[in-house]
Structures are given as structure tokens and as C-alpha cells.
A and B are shown apart, each in its own frame.
Chain A
Amino acid sequence: MLGTIVELIVVSILLSLISGYTSTFASISRSEFLVVTISHTVLAGLAALLYSSYVFHFQVSELHMWLISIVVAVVTCAALVSIREHGEKELIVALVFASMLSVAAFFMALLPGYLIARMWSFLTGNILLVTPDDVLMLFLICLVSCVLYTLYYREFILVSYDMEYALSTGISARAMLYILSMLISIAVLACVYIVGLFVTYALLMIPGTVLAKARFKIRDMTIISTVITLFSLVLSIILALKLNVPPSGLCGICVCILASLTFLARAIARR
């Protein structure tokens, strides 16, 4: 029992750190489209993979699923960022979103019962059921994210704020934009695995967007987003264990409430 609690605390901390950075940078770089499209593309990829495993009779381990999802996320992200630079963002996002959701629905409808349950776990998620592979991948994603966000913090801010100027300087602005987008995409993946697709948007977009509206400085946004997510995760785990309900939905609700309360408190303080 103690081992499980320690594991849950570790997962909560790792996911909060990833979410804190990602939520901040996804909102300031206006990358909501990445969160939406990557999550649905990954879902479609997972549905197709599970269906293939059923048809061709092979076993898919958690680690394999993670690795394939990362490849899908990275390739989709690269394509989306490249398209974004050439305009027509809204149209492409709508097309990718709608088509990937349809692909996911198609394969999910073909899955046998025992795989439907596995697929459903990517939609609703359950932090209480994380596997050692999940923890390992989460740790690696968190490590890479923390290192890159720390190293290129100011570059990421600049490319989010004024890409035209960034391109005119000696920094590799385009590479920075790609790295930032990749980090956001991989964070989406982590959220889909741990808390499920339904709650991913709440975790990765709500704190950052609300805190930006509340006029917090970028560094403060990252810290507060991390704290909000950590608190929400821990609270939802406690409530889930006490009430015997799945924690993901509770976590999403907590994030929204805490972000709103922070916004209100800030608005009152600024008067």
C-alpha cells in the first residue's frame, strides 16, 4: 500500500511539473490547436494499433504503445507546425481533429470487448492504475521537459511572443519553435496516458490560459500552474480512494475550480 502511495505521489509530481511548463507555454504560444489535434491523433493511432494487434494476433506492451504514440505525436506535430507557418491553421486543425476522431471511432467500433476496456482507459484515464512503464516514461518526459524548458526558457518566450523578430536574430528560432511544439505534444501524450483524453485539455490549457488572463508573469504562471495541477491530482486521488470513484474527472474539475479561484483572487488583489 505504501509503495502504491509513493508511486502515486511521484506520478503526481512528475505530471504536475510537465503540466506546469506545458500549460504556460501552450497558452502563451497559442498552441491550443496542438493539444486538441495531437490528443485525437494519438487516440486514433492507439485505436488502430490495438485493432491491428487483434487482427494480426500480436501482443502490445505498454512500452511499445508509449513509443509508437511518441512517434505519432512527433510526426503530427512537425507537420502541423510546418502547416501553421504557411497559414490555414484553422482549416487544418478542423480537418485533422475531425478525421482523427472518425478514425478512432471506426477502429474502436471494431475492437473486441477486452480491448475496448483498454481503449476506454485512454479516454477517461485512471491515475490509480499506472504501470511501472508509465512511471518510467513519465519520468523521462519530465526530465527532458525540465532540461529543455530551463535551457531555452527565453528562446521559447521570444518565439511565442514575436517570431518575426526571433527569426531576424542569431538564435535558431525555427528550431526553437519545433522543440517547443514537440515538448507540448509529448506532454499531451503523457496526459492522455495518465488522466485520459477527456481531462487533457483541462490540465494543459486551463491553468495557463486563466493565469495569462489574470496577468501573472510567465515564471509565476509556471509555478502556479504546477501547484494547481499537483493539488488537483492529490485531491482527486484522495477523493477517488475515499469515494471509490475514478479520479480523472475529479482532477479536471479541481483544476478548473482552482484556476478560477486564482483568477478571482488576482482580480480582487489588483483592484
Chain B
Amino acid sequence: MTILEVQDLQIRYGKNVVLDNVSFRIERPSLVAVIGPNGAGKTSLLRAIIGLVKPSKGKVIIFGRDSTGKVAKDIKARIGYVPQRDVINYTMPITVRDVILSGLLEKISPPRTVLSRTVEDKVEAISHELGIEDLLDRFFSDLSGGQQQRVLLARALVKDPDILLLDEPLSNVDEVGKYEILRLLRNLVTSGKTVLLVTHDINIAIEWADYVLLVNKGRVRFYSARISEDMNKLKLHYPEEDRKILPGRSPYCA
């Protein structure tokens, strides 16, 4: 079943075309890795899907509905989004519980000063599932990179979305942390969810994803299933200067 379809997408920032002629389709459930070097247009693609950027051309169809430039509330409720961590205000003394709770805001009507037991239960259940229940009353900024990433994942997952859009969730995370997050993502796919994972680590894409989508210089250069023989061609499409980061299978491979 097609969960997301992008047709002939073009994104411009002023005169600068960051994405052009991008088309692909994602079936559910699957883990799709969007890879490419820095500045390739990966984040812009994700932002266009979630409706944060209005495309100058093309279409984004989510759950069979045209969501180009503006995603309807009921569709947003079915999407979990984890933005890059550098957009977060780290000076703010916010607790992990409050961060996770913010994932449920659209589902609770104001005022939310006193929260129902159901809401609290959901927060505790998801934190238990991700192994962060001991961190609930700690400040987010006091956590390690891997813990912070799991908290942001919990915030995206607490509303039980059908599709997860993750922007560089493995950056600044140690190897053990990466393994835990990737295993969690695989489990989510097994349970029927679709994950769109933006990463610049080609090894992770090859080893963990069902499909690999390579974006470079604003265009899709490669899109194929991991098990297909085409994967060998991926290296050819990857920019020459970044091929050296292809040392073979890493110790934490699937």
C-alpha cells in the first residue's frame, strides 16, 4: 500500500533550486533511508513532505491525499516528525516528561494545566517502551546525545503515528546508541509503521534500510530496494569525495 508519493517535486529558496524533478513512492511498512552528502537537499525534502516548505512545483501525496505545501490536521496527526537537534532551544529548562507530552498537544484540548491520567499513562508507556522511564523528570539538556534522540523519538511516537520522518537522528550519537535506535526503528517497521530516515551515513542505509534513496545536488540519483542487485550501483552514484566512507559492513550491522 502506498503511504507517500512525491511527484516531480521542485523546491526553490529564492533563485536557488535545492530540489528538482524529485519523484518516488513509499510503500508501507518499510524503512526508507534518504542519503546524500551535506547540502544535497535531504532536509528540504523532509520539510516539504511535512508541509514546512511550499514546493514551487510538483505534488506530495500522503495517505492518498494531496498535501502539497499544506498538510491537513488529521494527516499531521498520523505523522511523527523528529527534526534535527540543532533547531532545539537547549537553554530551556524543560523536563523529558514535558518534551514527550508536547507530542500529544494536538490531541488534548486546552487548558492543559491539569492532565488526565490517560495522557500521563501514554507518556509513561512510551518512555517505558524506549527505556527512558528513569529520565522523565530530568532536564532534556542534561542528557547524552543518544538519550536525547530517544526522547525526541518518544515525542514523535507517543501519538502513535503511521509514518515517521526522522532528520539525522543518528548524528552525535555514539555507536551503541546508534545501534539501539536503529534496532528500535526496525521493530517499528515490523509492527507496521513506515520510517523515512535521513542520514548521511551510507553504511547505515545499506545495512538497515529496506529502500535507499540517494539525493545529490537536488536530484534523486538512485532509489532501490536494499536486497536488489542495483545496490552495487549506489556507490557509483555517490559523490566521489564521499565514497571513502564506504569501508564495508560495520560491527553493528543488522
A residues with a Cβ closer than 8 A to B are 28-30, 150-155, 157-158, 160-171, 212, 215-218, 221
Partner pick for B50 among A162, A163, A168, CB 8 A cutoff = A168
A223 to chain B, nearest CB (A): 13
> Which residues of chain B have C-beta atoms less than 8 A from A171's C-beta?
105-106
Partner pick for B92 among A152, A167, A212, CB 8 A cutoff = A212
B137 to chain A, nearest CB (A): 9
Q: Establish whether residues A162 and B88, one from each chain, have CB atoms under 8 Å apart when the complex forms.
A: yes
> Which residues of chain B have C-beta atoms less than 8 A from A221's C-beta?
93
> Which residues of chain A have C-beta atoms less than 8 A from B87's C-beta?
162-164
> Which residues of chain A have C-beta atoms less than 8 A from B76's C-beta?
168-170
B191 interface contact, C-beta 8 A: no
Contact with A along B146-164 (1 / 0, CB 8 A): 0000000001000000000
Q: Establish whether residues B94 and A168, one from each chain, have CB atoms under 8 Å apart when the complex forms.
A: no
Starting from the known contacts A165-B82, A165-B155, 18 additional A-B residue pairs (CB-CB under 8 Å) come to: A153-B111, A153-B112, A153-B113, A154-B101, A154-B105, A155-B110, A160-B89, A161-B88, A161-B89, A162-B88, A162-B89, A164-B83, A166-B102, A170-B73, A171-B105, A171-B106, A218-B98, A221-B93
A45 to chain B, nearest CB (A): 31
B residues with a Cβ closer than 8 A to A are 50-52, 73-74, 76-77, 79, 81-84, 87-89, 91-95, 98-99, 101-103, 105-106, 110-113, 139, 155
> In the complex, A152 Cα to B111 Cα: how many Å?
7
Q: Establish whether residues A151 and B89, one from each chain, have CB atoms under 8 Å apart when the complex forms.
A: no
The 10 closest A-B pairs by CB, nearest first: A170-B106, A170-B73, A164-B83, A168-B81, A164-B87, A158-B102, A151-B110, A168-B50, A170-B76, A28-B92
Q: List 12 A-B contacts (CB under 8 A).
A: A30-B89, A157-B92, A157-B102, A158-B105, A164-B83, A165-B81, A165-B102, A168-B51, A168-B76, A168-B79, A171-B105, A217-B95
